[in-house]
Structure 1
Amino acid sequence: MAVEAWPRCPVIYEIYPRSFMDTTGSGAGDLKGILERLDHVIDLGVDAIWIAPFYPSPLVDGGYDVADHSGVSPQMGDLDDVRRIIEAAHKAGLRVMTDQVLNHTSDRNPWFEWSANREEGYEDWYVWRDAKPDGTPPNNWMSYFGPPAWTWDHRREQYYWHQFLSSQPNLNLRNPKVQDALKAQMRFWRNLGIDGFRMDAISAYLCDESFADNPVAAPDVAARVAGPSFSPYSRQDHKYDLLPGDGARFCENVRAWAGKDAYLLGEINVGNNAVQVANTFTEPGRLDTSYTIDFAERGFTPDVIADVLRSMAHTEPGHGGRVTMWLSSHDQARHVSAHGDGSAHDAKFLALACGCLPGPWLIYQGEELGLPQPDLSRDETTDPFDLRFWPDGPGREGPRVPMPWTEDEGTHGFTTGTPWLPMRWHRGSSVAAQSKSPVSVLAFYKSLLRLRRKHRFPDGRIEAVEVEGDLLSLVTSCESGRFLARMNFAQEGRATKPADGSLLLASADAVSGDHLPARSAGLWHL
């Protein structure tokens, strides 16, 4: 059963399957768990779900090290489970997206084994290079996770390139046979009923075939390179190992493979002029939308938000839904702690501040509960990025702590076994508890999502963006009229110019047309 065409600026709910719901007692979530808890997402009022990888994987990088792009991990379920999720979602008018990891595979993928052994037809499915005469790697490229981006394989007596972990070799996307294989697996999921794809690391697809050394990053460039400043990755200007211009053109292939009606969301994981790069990836015939790391790495502040919005509007009137807003994901520390104090007050403020911005919106599971970033010890942590820079890593494991469905201590209704990560959620944080409260974070998200769906104010044109210290004011116009959003990021209240309109939603009780309490926001229909 097909659903209606995608809205211009959908709200997409990310599900990280290992941490959503476990139905087997294994301690890790599965596809049947998604189906069992799908009503929660439907009741929330989003337009689509994005299911993070459930493919066969050694799980070195949380499932993004894919061993079979067209399979289902036996620990997660099987293809019939995927079909049931699609059927139930479509029946409720919910669209379904899955991850497409085209940049790399697991080193356990048969393709890599065949290429490493130079089997006929697979010799150049990955990026292989000879060593320098002294045996050192071909150039100075660094991986995003810190170590050199080249690993020696004794079978070929060559180095292979990996932008991420050494267990994630990069595919040679310039190889027509590789392109045919990726096209086939994308068509496989579309034929199964998938409505769209989130394209992992899409701005990292292609490298310069000269394989020249990257230059040293000038201070202004280093400040914008993706990743933590203490990683050696940030010391380079990634001039040759990242070619977003070529990657943007490659999106035309991705569009052709997915089909005109598939919704394509791309992850832009470059730091330099990221929104401008995103604009090129979403030109006609490419992606529908993409999201950048500006808020996660530069901060969610009035100045950064204004800069992103003005960059969005730079190439066209309005924005066209081409840049997606988000604050949390499986890869970033939960935003209520990263950009706030972990309280329900800040959870509501940040939800309204992000949810009223123009463009599509990504919501990560548990965000609607205002979940803070959990504290994990080194012994409890499994993520390689967090462990490499412990205790100063990006905190990728924290947002993967499983969802609290009930108030049951220890497992919170997620599993009958031992959760794969410890669950120490505070009382009142669960879905069960918040569903009973009209003033909970969950109730606030539902109110905000109803307003978005009714008025579609994020679809509109940006009329004005004003920053006055810690106060951000935004005026947009759409078919439903004109809307004013005000956000006070300061730790104290402040008076504002009177708002000439009706207050639709406020993150705090004392918000009025001429006053915003500390860390609060309001949305008016002018």
Structure 2
Amino acid sequence: MPDRPWPAAPVIYQIYPRSFRDTTGSGTGDLNGITSKLEFVADLGVDAIWLSPFYPSPMKDGGYDIADHMEVHPALGTLGDFDHLVARAHDLGVRVMIDQVFNHTSTEAPWFKRSVARDPVYDDYYVWADPKPDGTQPNNWLSQFGPPAWTWNHKRRQYYFHNFTSDQPSLNLRNADVQAELKQIMQFWRDRGVDGFRIDAVTSLLFDPSLKDNPPATPEVRDKVSGENFVPYTYQDHAHDILPGDGVDYIQNLRDWAGEGAFLIGEVTSGNKSVDLACRLVADGGMSAAYTTDLPEKKATAAAYADILDRSDDPGHLGWWLSSHDQTRHLGKAGDGSAREARFFALLLATAPGSVLIYQGEELGLVQPALPKAAVTDPLDLLYWPDGPGREGARVPYPWAEGGNRGFTTGAPWLPMDWPEGISASVQHIDKGSVLNFYRDALAFRRASMQDLTLRHWERDGDVIRLSYPAAYVVLNFGAEAVEVEGAADLSSDRIDGTLPGRAGAVWLR
């Protein structure tokens, strides 16, 4: 959509392709399945879709272990199917964003195999290091999943670095040939009509080439860590393995490769420096937006919301979200699972001062179903089973209809679909009071009535957050007790009559 500039704070709908809709009976969602439901997504009132990886992959980490960045996984379709998807989205006025995973590839990628073999062209494509004299790893760095970030390769007799699993070796992004490859990848997809990119693990792209040990995290640093701290990664101050020195400046490369018109949003996985780094990434025309894990991992409390605002010098350039393919669905984690609280969270997002990320199914008020260990393939969930983050549960396929396999597939779904009756899109579509229709109303209100989302003033009073915009005044009551308000609200997540109930939000237009 080259003639339409991006909104300053777009609403972006994330689709996990394997779990959206299957058109072949394979039990795995595909690109044509996404295309078949784009009208539904457009009617939700979003500005863009973001597609999680659909590339060839051995699926050791949910498709984020990519073997070829410029192809489509055969189980998900073809490049022709992708082109059709983009064309249909644009016809509906919806922009298309795709994941760009530049931190690493799969160990099955041809680049890595050639690097292992010391092919002169690919020898330096990845991060290799000699062992210490005693054969141990080069330093104390840990992968973000917890185990050491170095894996021995007996053919090269060196260790390779990986921020995540050992199936995802980190690319050497300071290598000029690697940079040329990544530029080609971005331009390949831009030429196919892609409007923007979500940059996976953007804070992991560069590290200190001296490979210094990370120091222990001080109590002050650990206090800033979002989520559970049973993962040993949180015990370090990531001074040397997260965007040191020239790391923020490197983001300009991504902007140059994608072009000025592309929307770039980065995932910040730095833990204890999250909001600070997010703000630096969007400065000086780098990323269009960046988002952290603080709000969902801290269970979307008033304190977590205020902490992000307090640490941000420009909340309009942050991404606001609650659920994703990587996080337990928020309605059962931060809420009580009720439709009432689903509406509250919908209004929280619809009134956020920056870009909004909505994950497929949250508009139905889905509460994450439990999965048996035998069904789980996610490496992080299995590493800490049964106490892992529940990433795979967030990927249970979408319930389009009632009965059978819920309109997702005519075959056996790749994950069990244990959804309650009456939750499906087909039922909620015709129920005026459904969570789905509240999402539609809230997003339409954001687009039509709130307009300028420059946050003029905000304040927190206990469990209540108040936001002041040029055209609107918002009150979010995160607590259980009702609070007094004045006048009839123009939009509210629950009925108000002089008071705003607990776990409810409302907006007044000026």
Task: Give the alignment of 1:59-458 within 5 angstroms.
Answer: 59-225=59-225, 228-243=228-243, 246-312=246-312, 314=313, 319=315, 321-409=316-404, 411-457=405-451
Closer/same/farther in 2, CA of residues 408 and 244 from structure 1, 3 Å limit: farther
**Conserved 8 A contact 2:31-2:82:** yes
**Conserved 8 A contact 2:195-2:262:** yes
Q: 2:480 aligns with which of 491, 498, 503?
A: 491
Match of 1:52 in 2: 52
Q: 2:493 aligns with which of 498, 501, 507?
A: 507
Q: Deviations over 1:475-512 (max 9, x none)?
A: 111xxx2x1111222223x232425xx52211112x23
**Conserved 8 A contact 1:10-1:48:** yes
Provide the rounded CA distance (Å) in 1 between the counterparts of 2:148 and 2:464.
Answer: 43
The 10-residue stretch of structure 1 (36-45 or 51-60) with the greater mean CA deviation from structure 2: 36-45
Q: Which runs of 5+ in 2 are unaligned?
A: none
1:402 Cα deviation from its structure 2 partner: 0.3
Provide the rounded CA distance (Å) in 2 between the counterparts of 1:524 and 1:119.
Answer: 64
**Conserved 8 A contact 2:39-2:92:** no
1:214 Cα deviation from its structure 2 partner: 1.1
Aligned partner of residue 253 in structure 1, secondary structure = helix
Closer/same/farther in 2, CA of residues 262 and 96 from structure 1, 3 Å limit: same
**Conserved 8 A contact 1:202-1:247:** no
Calculate the TM-score normalised by the size of structure 1: 0.95
Q: 1:470 aligns with which of 460, 463, 466?
A: 463
Q: Which runs of 5+ in 1 are unaligned?
A: none
Provide the rounded CA distance (Å) in 2 between the counterparts of 1:151 and 1:90.
Answer: 44
Provide the rounded CA distance (Å) in 1 between the counterparts of 2:361 and 2:371.
Answer: 17
1:222 Cα deviation from its structure 2 partner: 2.4
**Conserved 8 A contact 1:279-1:322:** yes
1:157 Cα deviation from its structure 2 partner: 0.5
Aligned partner of residue 284 in structure 1, secondary structure = helix
Q: Deviations over 1:51-108 (max 9, x none)?
A: 1000000001000000001111000001001100110011111100000000000000
**Conserved 8 A contact 1:383-1:397:** yes
Provide the rounded CA distance (Å) in 1 between the counterparts of 2:244 and 2:448.
Answer: 37
Provide the rounded CA distance (Å) in 2 between the counterparts of 1:193 and 1:269.
Answer: 28
Aligned partner of residue 98 in structure 1, secondary structure = strand
Closer/same/farther in 2, CA of residues 434 and 244 from structure 1, 3 Å limit: farther
1:455 Cα deviation from its structure 2 partner: 2.1
1:518 Cα deviation from its structure 2 partner: 2.3
**Conserved 8 A contact 1:226-1:269:** no
Calculate the TM-score normalised by the size of structure 2: 0.97
Aligned partner of residue 208 in structure 1, secondary structure = coil
Provide the rounded CA distance (Å) in 1 between the counterparts of 2:292 and 2:177.
Answer: 30
Q: Deviations over 1:301-332 (max 9, x none)?
A: 112212212333x3x6xx4x311111111000
**Conserved 8 A contact 1:2-1:90:** no
1:360 Cα deviation from its structure 2 partner: 1.1
Provide the rounded CA distance (Å) in 2 between the counterparts of 1:42 and 1:217.
Answer: 45
Letter in 1 for 2:493: S
Closer/same/farther in 2, CA of residues 165 and 63 from structure 1, 3 Å limit: same
